[in-house]
Amino acid sequence: MTKGRLEAFSDGVLAIVITIMVLELKVPHGSDLHALRPMVPVFLSYVLSFVYVGIYWTNHHHLFHATGEVDGSVLWANLALLFCLSLVPVVTAWVGDNPRAPWPAALYGVVLLLCGLAWWVLERAILARAGPRSELARALGGKRKEKLALVAYGFGIALAFVHPWVSELVYAGVALTWIVPDRRIEHALRTR
């Protein structure tokens, strides 16, 4: 089975997820600069979530670029990832409306954690087809970065109850480590 439509469908869902968040940036009622002030936290949470969905799109692009065929389990692992990512706009809006409350910051981390786990499952489903000795398996290696991110999300969730801003900084920090697309795959492809 070819991967073309899986990529097209994922591109569609990710494009919508990344764009409907902008619907939360509701037009201010006033017409002067002060009217924009309540939008600042909503805007910042939009930026962070845009970067996260962008990271997933970039890595998705890399991962499937290095993948040949797909089967039913990859289709469903991919749908599970898209489901988790579709929850990002909801928690983004909640954090944007309540930037100083612990629960929204914690739930944002829970959704990031779910996305990270779904990504892990998707990688495993693809590797199960490619085999443990495939180029892709060697390229992905020990997955240290994935493990670190999951641990950091856990810390972020806990820190939300100490201070929400701290946990949001943790999430932003993890995003920074991922902005560079998955060099391992890119490197492996180049050396081929």
Cβ proximity of 160 and 109 under 8 Å: yes
- Least Å distance, CB 123 to a copy of itself, is 18
162 binds a copy of itself (CB under 8 A): no
Q: Which pairs count as long-range contacts for 143-146, CB under 8 Å and 24+ apart, including other chains?
A: 145/177, 145/178, 146/116, 146/119, 146/120
Instruction: Rank residues 19 and 177 by Cβ distance to a copy of itself and give the closer one.
Output: 19
137 binds a copy of itself (CB under 8 A): no
Tell me the CA distances in angstroms from 18 to 85, 87, 147, 158, one per residue in order: 9, 11, 25, 27
- Cα-Cα end-to-end distance for the chain: 24
Q: Which residues are at the interface with a copy of itself (CB under 8 A)?
A: 1-2, 5-9, 11-20, 22-25, 27-28, 31-33, 35-36, 47, 50, 54, 57-58, 61-62, 65, 71-72, 75-76, 79, 82-83, 86-87, 89-90, 93-94, 97-98, 101, 103-104, 107, 179-181, 183, 186, 189
